[in-house]
Amino acid sequence: MNDVSVIIPAYNEEARIEHTIKAIRHIPGIHEVIVVNDGSVDGTSRIAHFYADVTIDIEKNVGKGNALLVGWKMAQGELIACVDADLEGTASELEKLIVPIRENRADLAISTIKTGQKAGFGLVKRRAQAIVYKYTGMNVISPLSGQRVFRRKWLSLLLEQEYRGFGVEIKMTVDFILAGAKIIEVETCMAHREMGKSFAGFYHRFKQWIDIERHMKVVRK
């Protein structure tokens, strides 16, 4: 049964996106791969047009949240998967998130890395965990994980929201919980490119923090 639409928001990922798409292609049940090229200035668009089923080019970078909204509107599958563009071969682990949704064991499956693996800077993650608990009373290990699978019926909830930048995952998590969805977190070996304690790494986490705080201002207690 080919029933999974995979949405990949991408910004300047020419070195990795080909391998990410190829890894996803090996997963049973994939209906389509949709890449939303979010204003990339490298070869991301060219590669995506060659390997993806659908490529949507956004002329100006609008941020991850808006890119996902564009992709969700195009999705045709019964199951919707969100995958970051830089996972390369580890994107094949997406299958571990698809199975519990297909078997109706949960409404939203979120990837969480195995104990001992790196997961970016802990400060931002702990802040995100605290925010989710504050608004929902639920402990979520990986509220910032971009790797997620859910059923199509939840699109109506998501398309009513406003998601911007890197705050999309945490607000999405809260929105699902407040709507009564059952969430499951699944250990996978999905791995991003390492930015570590470089300037790029610090900047990414700073942007993530700002976007998280901006998003949560509009969440009702």
Please report, in tens digits, the pLDDT of each residue of the chain (221 residues total): 789 999 999 999 999 999 999 999 999 999 999 999 999 999 999 999 999 999 999 999 999 999 999 999 999 999 999 999 999 999 999 999 999 999 999 999 999 987 555 555 578 888 889 999 999 999 999 999 999 999 999 999 999 998 876 789 999 999 999 999 999 999 999 998 665 555 455 555 656 656 666 656 555 44
Residue 63 near residue 164, CB atoms below 8 Å: yes
What type of residue sits at position 220?
Answer: R
pLDDT at residue 163, rounded to an integer: 85
Distance CA 101, CA 113 (A): 18
Residue 83: closest CA among 125, 140, 32, 139: 32
DSSP lists the bridge partners of residue 7 as 34, 82
Inter-helix orientation angle 199-216/122-136, to 10°: 10
Angle at 98 between CA 149 and CA 113, to 5 degrees: 75
Distance CA 117, CA 19 (A): 21
Which CATH number is 4-216 given?
3.90.550.10
Three-class secondary structure of residue 55 per DSSP:
strand
Distance CA 126, CA 142 (A): 9
